Amino acid sequence: MEKLKKFKELGLSENALLALKKRGFEEPTPIQQKAIPILLKGENDLIGQAQTGTGKTAAFGLPIIERIKEKAKNIQVLILAPTRELAIQISVELNSLKGSKKLHIVPIYGGQSIDQQLRSLKKMVDIVVGTPGRVIDHIKRKSMDLRDISYLVLDEADEMLNMGFLEDVELIMKSTNQEKRTMLFSATMPNEILRIAKKYMGEYEFVAIKKEQLTANLTDQIYFEVSTADKFDALCRIIDIEHEFYGLVFCRTKVDVDKIGRRLVDRGYDADALHGDISQYQRETILNKFKRKRTNILVATDVAARGIDIVDLTHVINYSLPQDPEYYVHRIGRTGRAGKEGTAITFVTPEEYRSLLFIQRMTKTKIRKEKIPKVEDIIDSKRKRIKAQLENIIKSDINGDYINMAQDLLEDQEPENIIAALLKHSYQDELSGKGYTEIKDISVDKKGTARLFVALGKSDAMTRKKLVTMIKQKTNIEESKIDDVKIFDKFSFITVPFEDAEIILHVFKKEGKGKRPIVVRAKKKQSKR
């Protein structure tokens, strides 16, 4: 397939193109290139196989926004998502993509006030983005009528299967009309998902995007071992030692983003914070400042950073590790673009070390350990920077008034003393190490093990041999690494190295009894059995 360079080649309206321009999107992702023309022109259903973070929301959202009407007086679109976080994220993104089109988009999820949702649904709602359980609640209450919808979207269908929502999804699909157009997106295509497609979908087109190799070739990847309490001071040292720092700082939560952003501003840095609670207008203003380098530090969550397309970042800082290796790759992939090498730095606490090992293994890359810059190294870097700046000023035309002042001073003072006095006057605070606090060296136990709880026991005909064999077959971990196996009536325990524990947990999180995975990290009280 010939690569399309611009969104305008996909057949989108001027309104959509303007909305994309405001978001900073310049080139469509592979799933967008394939799906958007099909959904704009055809009438068939669609199945799209693509990973998280590949631009699926815009792939189905843009064509839907193009084709539905304003003031339709009924729900036109239902989008199902496995988690409240994804439902909110999709809703926010669709609102940013609708441009000037007057559409009412509402997220519906568990944990939110049902009364608030009932009030929202009584208004003219065009698009509902909901989790299966809460949508079922509204269907039973007759507060949501899906008989006249034009589009049904199942996003991350395999995750809905893993979380035990498949029966709810089928019940919802039965509550919709047959004339609707259905779109199903999933990273994997297990038999249960294909069964639903065959049973409930009409004639469909299938598009698949090859899974990206989890790597970033032009990015120098390093990590620092640091305690949680020292992370902020470590961040300041990294920024200060660089000649021209221009980077993204990733945190897991909105609370952390606000806190770190505020502390950086208080220290005198040109920083901004970006997360899901920020309005679209604020988001555009913040991104515009960052792109123009009026701010050089942007603290963000993974969700908020989607759509940021800036090619010349020097650094990406993982202030806290992401939960998924794919998010790590998406983060650090923002450096090392346009042929320039970027630097990805990850802060690792003793508790996070096993997660770092897991990320290294899944991404098949080496993340190099380095020492946090010392205060004297930062001061030395600043001295060199000041010297270079002064040399550039000397090469430029200097105003005659300054020359006259210099000559007056030279009549009574030694040149070295004059220069030293000027440096002290201008750079005393900058060249002082008093603003830096001590960062303690920490030692991470790199040979540690993890105790895992397995929700299978003698009552499930489980034996030591069967348990070890099952884990080996599903994870490719050697039997010799699975130690201290204890089989009880309804559950079991195993001990494995940190790195292998993360692999096992990742594989088995999609298999479980009910909604709980078969294998979880053992609690301290449990592990003493």
Cα–Cα separations (whole angstroms), residue 507 to 96, 425, 462:
35, 61, 19
**Nearest alpha carbon to residue 232 among 271, 184, 285:** 271
Q: Show pLDDT as tens, one digit a residue, over the chain (529 residues).
A: 445 557 888 989 999 999 888 776 777 888 999 999 999 988 899 999 987 667 889 999 999 999 999 988 899 999 999 888 788 889 988 998 999 999 999 999 887 888 889 988 988 899 999 999 999 999 999 999 999 999 999 998 988 887 788 889 999 999 999 999 999 998 888 888 889 888 999 899 999 887 654 445 567 899 999 999 999 999 999 999 988 899 999 998 889 999 999 999 999 999 999 987 787 788 888 988 998 899 999 999 876 776 566 767 899 999 998 867 777 877 887 776 555 678 999 999 887 887 788 788 777 788 898 989 888 888 888 888 888 888 888 888 787 888 888 888 888 888 888 888 888 887 777 777 777 788 877 765 555 678 899 999 999 999 999 999 999 988 888 888 898 899 999 999 999 887 788 788 888 876 655 567 889 888 765 555 5
DSSP, collapsed to helix, strand or coil, labels residue 120 as helix
CATH superfamily of 219-373: P-loop containing nucleotide triphosphate hydrolases (3.40.50.300)
**Cross-strand partners of 451:** 495
DSSP, collapsed to helix, strand or coil, labels residue 287 as helix
Q: Which residue has the tokens 């790590």?
A: 328
pTM of the model: 0.52
Q: Which pair of tokens denotes residue 222?
A: 């390093």
Ordered by start, the domain boundaries in the chain are: 7-208, 219-373, 376-418, 449-527
Q: Look at domain 7-208 and name its CATH class.
A: alpha beta
Instruction: Name the CA dihedral angle for 427, 428, 430, 436, rounded to a multiple of 10 degrees.
Output: 170
Q: Which pair of tokens denotes residue 443?
A: 């030692």
CATH superfamily of 449-527: RRM (RNA recognition motif) domain (3.30.70.330)
* Residues composing the chain: 529
**Does residue 17 contact residue 8 with C-beta atoms inside 8 Å?**
yes
Q: What was the pLDDT predicted at 15?
A: 93
In angstroms, rounded to a whole number, what is the distance separating the alpha carbons of residues 485 and 471?
12
How many CA atoms within 13 Å lie on the side-chain side of 299? 25
